[in-house]
Structure 1
């Protein structure tokens, strides 16, 4: 019996702890960076100097320091905030509390290795045969390092879940370009149905899967030759990877993943809110040229074309002509057989918890449902589908894009019907009418591990946008804060140029301000840049706690279901490579047939 490591009561207690912490600190996460100077955010929330925050949160800070005693002598605090003024007076106390209320601090997560060991131990006890694994594919030959890490880590877990539940089918929700789906089918022999709402994605997935199958066949032949000969691999003289000329495939974005690229963009956009799109987001997802070249070569439309000798056929011997004819017939037979047994089927459909899967998939049997970085409400919808559909034996869901979640109890949000909203999902939090707010959910997308290494926050673009907001307040009365400036920072040569471009984008009269007027604003607020930097670092510190509450809510939802034998929160990925690294795992009870 695969037992859950934490009971419903224990998960609810952890939720209570995080709720109490966020009830004090959530106001920081919900403060909008664009309004940092117009709303005097620093003085509203802080009773410490920016230098104290930066020195405490910086890499050289002493993480073991005790909370400051000077502030405690003046007034009693809760998580570093003064109970009388609700302003931060003790940075160290806040930092320690944030660590304690993150998922690692709460100690509620299983590691990937622990989950795999538990699944394999149960498989051994049940006498089930080991999972069928094809010739091992080297994913770094056709994916970037981030996607390769995610696909390899998640696919092994999914394969073990499928075997644990005795199923051969997988439904990949939000399958995007089909990397995970293709790998599951090619590497583990699973029948995968990839569902994505974008017809462009599913069409591209069809092409990639076809090319991957060709690549896989040659890769397997090459591996067999290497093992048989005990020497370096070389392709058969009859097969070669042809050179790809620019524009051959037209698929120049192949390395940007199943929607996972949004994660790196979030880290840049999240502090800006509805303002500039930071150009550094693209730099984070730049493909490796060597990997890109190999992938495009291996998976091009013209890949693996048989190369004919330059010797005219009439000059070949009868035996050679017969041999080549036989090889061609065998190769065509293999292609027909492969086409007849397609293991990955991309489908275009918008799915919700009410979607009838059997209407989409005629051959549907019991299956595992998976989602790799499903955006916004799609992640909770995946869990609702898993609970509602008896044909779904297990689920492995990794969500992302928390800022796109709909909230049932957000007074500032749009109306959201019960059972449809993305948050809260559990009855426990719904009974409390809990909401986070959009800015807090955007903050949850930040990557603490990356920011701690100096990645993720581009302060100049945030500073420019906040000072622009002051200019708009002072000189353009019709301006509304929700108007989007767009990605003008990447093109701007200076602050003056940035403001000119922004005013033009907003269709506002530029002649109201001279260049010197604009520069004066920059000079006035430059000494206060440290305030914004320190405040955003505090936001980053709170990010894991907000993400933790969202994920604990999803785990609590599964714990509330009666027919589930196992549910857990599992860290699947390295957070430095893939910041949205946690998966919600669930297995149903199916009596003697599946002893989950």
Structure 2
């Protein structure tokens, strides 16, 4: 055992060194181009980005490219024979002595080690171009991609490692678009297989939104799931969605099975549905015949054995008896479907017999099926009338697996508090004792089926944290929560919106409006924190650009051109522009032409529109028409750097996890198709 532990530790150390080496290489490459990735596209014309941020040889090459050649800038693949570490092979000595250096950040650094890179002066500093031509630049860019590293794990290999057979079930894609269907299908299967391998009995879905992933895990894979979201409107939406799905799940599953078997193509007609019901009715008859055979055997059992069997219902009868007045004369009769002999379960110790003239005695009959799934109650007298509903129908069972809750997740969040609040249990209750759980469930109104049963408990170390596209700071918070919580055993997370998280060593242009209590989401690892690494908000915003989608576009477009032209008009008309002017996003898509867009923008910003005319706007369009093609080429080149920045963010998180002694392993996988879902990388981590 000791030898195995040492081997695992050695493997983890080698993997950590590999990730640190890759981080060092990518950051060394990016450090020279931080001014380029942090310039704002809106100021392309205003600040002459074409001449400021591109070297003369690069400008000349981009200008000479045809439309098809410009499109191929993002789609060309790296020649594997040229794939090697940037700057040669690194050693452990390099890692120990490496220091992150960037002239751009050094010039912007304040007295407190925070770089203020979004001042007007800093936004005009040129990058240090170390590449003399476009080909060498793009080659080094692609060497920084995660796909071209030895770090990215293959999802097929991960499946083999988990070694859990796929479920023989169909995927229900109702209420989801194509993108979300793809994401939920793949990540749901990954979470299920991880839960099976590591004996997970509870999944906490952070940033669950409308509950797409959490309801899928609860309904499709029968896992107990807590869906946590900071917005109450999302929690209500998730609950409503679960209600609808629980009522329709059986029909949806049936229809999908038929389509999978190609029994019926497309949407089912009324005739096809009737035929299907007849088929199901036939199966029900066969099941009843089998049940009759079983109950026939029960009728010939000895009284002693039958009495032992009947004791199974004592808990339920006690619950019903507590709800019935002790003065009432009702008794409970057990009746099987084939054996008509009654077995009384009297509420009082002595049997009460009603005389003539009194209200006729009514009995509460319980038809017990072989799977003891439900209890059907007849009416009681008016003085002790109550309605006993089916507690364990298929829909209620499914819905009982899903627990949406509204809660803001931050650095100091407590996982046990999240679980207790979602389950509506008192944190002081002992969850290890089933009787206590059931007792508390009755008091609080929580369905007992909502709590792991059949011997399962909320054991420490049996919780999985997951999140499908955890936005901004939540992406780093879920990793911190996994590390800090002793209850979390497995992590499976896909992040997005990197620009919305906070950096420790680079100030945001909207710092005064940011949540000052929010912990920095980058960097997380000690390796980067000790080097005071920063990349900038615009760079993180660029990391959210989809290289694969842009590479599949039919032509290279300058979609931001109207906003860039507006920036020039604002400067010329007012004599200034403000960085905090907001509310113009996608306004051009709602406008009918450039003139309409400009007048709408001025009105939105509360500015006078008297000096704006169609002739004026038309003159600007004509004057800067050549800038449209230049910006398309500029943005194409800039977008090529997006995967490099995303690599730094994700490798930093992976490095942070592997730095933790109790984390057994952490992997980075490409879960989704990058064209369908641009934020396609997931982090899977397991504690020892």
TM above 0.5, yes or no, is yes
Deviation (angstroms), 1:465: 1.1
The corresponding residue for 1:357 is 415
Deviation (angstroms), 1:495: 2.0
The number of residue pairs the alignment matches comes to 477
Instruction: Assess if the C-alpha contact under 8 Å between 1:4 and 1:568 holds in 2.
Output: no
SS in 1 for 2:505: coil
1:139-288 → structure 2 map (5 Å cutoff): 139-220=172-253, 232=264, 234-236=272-274
Higher relative contact order (CA 8 A, sep 6+): 1
Q: 2:396 aligns with which of 316, 332, 339?
A: 339
Instruction: Assess if the C-alpha contact under 8 Å between 1:174 and 1:195 holds in 2.
Output: yes
Instruction: Give the unaligned 5+ runs of structure 2.
Output: 83-125, 279-373, 378-387, 421-430, 432-457
- TM-score normalized by structure 1? 0.73
Counterpart CA distance in 2 for 1:471 and 1:377 is 35
Larger radius of gyration: 2
Deviation (angstroms), 1:455: 7.0
Q: 2:498 aligns with which of 379, 388, 402?
A: 402
Deviation (angstroms), 1:152: 1.2
Deviation (angstroms), 1:328: 13
The corresponding residue for 1:31 is 39
Counterpart CA distance in 1 for 2:623 and 2:534 is 37
Deviation (angstroms), 1:230: 10
Counterpart CA distance in 1 for 2:613 and 2:258 is 72
1:307-322 → structure 2 map (5 Å cutoff): none
Deviation (angstroms), 1:480: 1.2
The corresponding residue for 1:277 is none
Counterpart CA distance in 2 for 1:532 and 1:230 is 50
Instruction: Assess if the C-alpha contact under 8 Å between 1:173 and 1:194 holds in 2.
Output: yes
The corresponding residue for 1:96 is 139
Counterpart CA distance in 1 for 2:277 and 2:418 is 38
Counterpart CA distance in 2 for 1:329 and 1:368 is 37
Deviation (angstroms), 1:377: 0.5
The corresponding residue for 1:385 is 481
The corresponding residue for 2:668 is 569
2:581 is the alignment partner of 1:581: no
Deviation (angstroms), 1:459: 1.7
The corresponding residue for 1:509 is 608
2:17 is the alignment partner of 1:9: yes
Q: 1:533 aligns with which of 615, 619, 632?
A: 632
Q: Deviations over 1:495-522 (max 9, x none)?
A: 2222222222222222234432222111
Higher deviation after alignment, 527-536 or 560-569: 527-536
Q: 2:158 aligns with which of 86, 100, 115?
A: 115
Identify if the C-alpha distance between structure 1 residues 456 and 382 changes in structure 2 by more than 3 Å, giving closer, same or farther: farther
Counterpart CA distance in 1 for 2:555 and 2:541 is 14
The corresponding residue for 1:593 is none
The corresponding residue for 2:435 is none
Identify if the C-alpha distance between structure 1 residues 117 and 338 changes in structure 2 by more than 3 Å, giving closer, same or farther: same
Identify if the C-alpha distance between structure 1 residues 222 and 84 changes in structure 2 by more than 3 Å, giving closer, same or farther: closer
Counterpart CA distance in 1 for 2:657 and 2:152 is 15
Counterpart CA distance in 2 for 1:495 and 1:548 is 38
Deviation (angstroms), 1:478: 4.8
Deviation (angstroms), 1:138: 2.6
Instruction: Assess if the C-alpha contact under 8 Å between 2:183 and 2:672 holds in 1.
Output: yes
The corresponding residue for 2:114 is none
Counterpart CA distance in 2 for 1:451 and 1:359 is 43
Q: Deviations over 1:243-294 (max 9, x none)?
A: xxxxxxxxxxxxxxxxxxxxxxxxxxxxxxxxxxxxxxxxxxxxxxxxxxxx
Deviation (angstroms), 1:399: 0.2
Counterpart CA distance in 1 for 2:622 and 2:274 is 67
2:579 is the alignment partner of 1:546: no
Counterpart CA distance in 2 for 1:436 and 1:183 is 37
1:388-537 → structure 2 map (5 Å cutoff): 388-413=484-509, 414=511, 420-454=519-553, 459-460=558-559, 462-484=560-582, 485-537=584-636
Instruction: Assess if the C-alpha contact under 8 Å between 1:52 and 1:91 holds in 2.
Output: no
Deviation (angstroms), 1:25: 1.9
Deviation (angstroms), 1:59: 2.8
Identify if the C-alpha distance between structure 1 residues 520 and 541 changes in structure 2 by more than 3 Å, giving closer, same or farther: same
Counterpart CA distance in 2 for 1:573 and 1:173 is 19
Instruction: Give the unaligned 5+ runs of structure 1.
Output: 68-82, 124-129, 241-326, 590-596
Counterpart CA distance in 2 for 1:562 and 1:482 is 44
SS in 2 for 1:347: strand
SS in 2 for 1:193: strand
Higher deviation after alignment, 41-50 or 413-422: 413-422
Deviation (angstroms), 1:536: 0.6
CA RMSD of aligned residues (A): 3.5
SS in 2 for 1:207: helix
Identify if the C-alpha distance between structure 1 residues 355 and 182 changes in structure 2 by more than 3 Å, giving closer, same or farther: same
Instruction: Assess if the C-alpha contact under 8 Å between 1:408 and 1:418 holds in 2.
Output: no
Counterpart CA distance in 2 for 1:340 and 1:183 is 14
Counterpart CA distance in 2 for 1:230 and 1:107 is 42
Deviation (angstroms), 1:525: 0.6
Higher deviation after alignment, 549-558 or 487-496: 487-496
SS in 1 for 2:678: coil
SS in 1 for 2:640: helix
Instruction: Assess if the C-alpha contact under 8 Å between 1:56 and 1:62 holds in 2.
Output: no
Instruction: Assess if the C-alpha contact under 8 Å between 1:171 and 1:194 holds in 2.
Output: yes
Instruction: Assess if the C-alpha contact under 8 Å between 1:353 and 1:381 holds in 2.
Output: yes
